[in-house]
Amino acid sequence: MADAPIFIHAGAHRTGTSSFQLCLHDNRQALDAMGWTTAYPGRDGIPSGKLALRLPSGTRIDADAAAAKASETLEPYRDGRPVILSEENITGRMFHFMQGQFYPFAEDRCRALRTAWTGPVAHVLLVVRPYDELFVSAYRKRAEDNAMPDFSEVKDSYLNVDRGWPDLVGGIYDMLQPDVITVVPYASRGSNVDLLRRLVPDLPVDGLVEPARVVNKSATDAALMVLQEHYRADKTLSRAEWTKVINAHTDDREARGIAEFTAEEKSYLSARYASDLKQIEWMQHINFV
């Protein structure tokens, strides 16, 4: 028997995905009562998140093995009911931005997911963010947990990244073959309940609630400077030590130039983003908000 329809929120990174997953957590009982199964990971302390979807990433990919692994991971969500799945890593890792690559393995990952789920992909929703904001946010997020080169050393890779949102959207559509794919610019994202209603248009939203707490809070420049001193000295921090650094500098909002594009670079990336949004708007089979 084929799987039930699945509705996929595919991120992207740094677009409020963790907040959306917390929304699914806070509304899980209401959604369950409506007849929905929900699937999302437990990153950023989301208690009920159990999804641990591992998709292929690399030049040597065993497609059959990747699909089998994904199918095994999705097994607990095969209960005959339609599924709402949220996972920002469907497209891949942000690390590749620093190598001038924009989600290079997204198509392979989507192919494995589509093979793993035998039912219809009823809807895919992707939130896209301006390139300058995305790259800065991606760099800062990685700097929270890893020793990083100075932003000036990797900036050219961001500015000359090999492809962009239209290529990713087209690849997702080709591999997942959804009934509908919706692309939402970050500026039009709205609330988490708004986003859930976009993903599942007929879903009654009365009684659904917005998350009361903030997840995945970004570190300040002051905190990042301290963290980088530790990482560059090859020091490994426990989670308690890491949290102490974050909390100690949370009120210091002074900008220290950790990751910044020049005005000219921002203008270039903004123009590229605007052009790419227009290209997505013209793409067939794409519902552009």
What is the per-residue pLDDT for 57?
A: 86
* Cβ count within 10 A of residue 228: 17
> Tens-of-pLDDT digits for all 289 residues of the chain?
789 999 999 999 999 999 999 999 999 999 999 999 999 999 888 989 999 999 988 877 888 999 999 999 999 999 999 999 999 999 999 999 999 999 999 999 999 999 999 999 999 999 999 999 999 999 999 999 999 999 999 999 999 999 999 999 999 999 999 999 999 999 999 999 999 999 999 999 888 999 987 776 789 999 999 999 999 999 999 999 999 999 999 999 999 999 999 999 999 999 999 999 999 999 988 999 9
* Cβ count within 10 A of residue 37: 19
For residue 110, give the nearest of 157, 175, 161 by alpha carbon. 175
Would you say 199 and 123 are in contact if contact means Cβ atoms under 8 Å apart? Answer: yes
What is the per-residue pLDDT for 2?
A: 85
* Class at the top of the CATH hierarchy for domain 6-135+154-214+273-288: alpha beta
What is the per-residue pLDDT for 232?
A: 94
Alpha-carbon distance values, 126 to 62, 66, 214, 268 (Å) = 26, 23, 21, 23
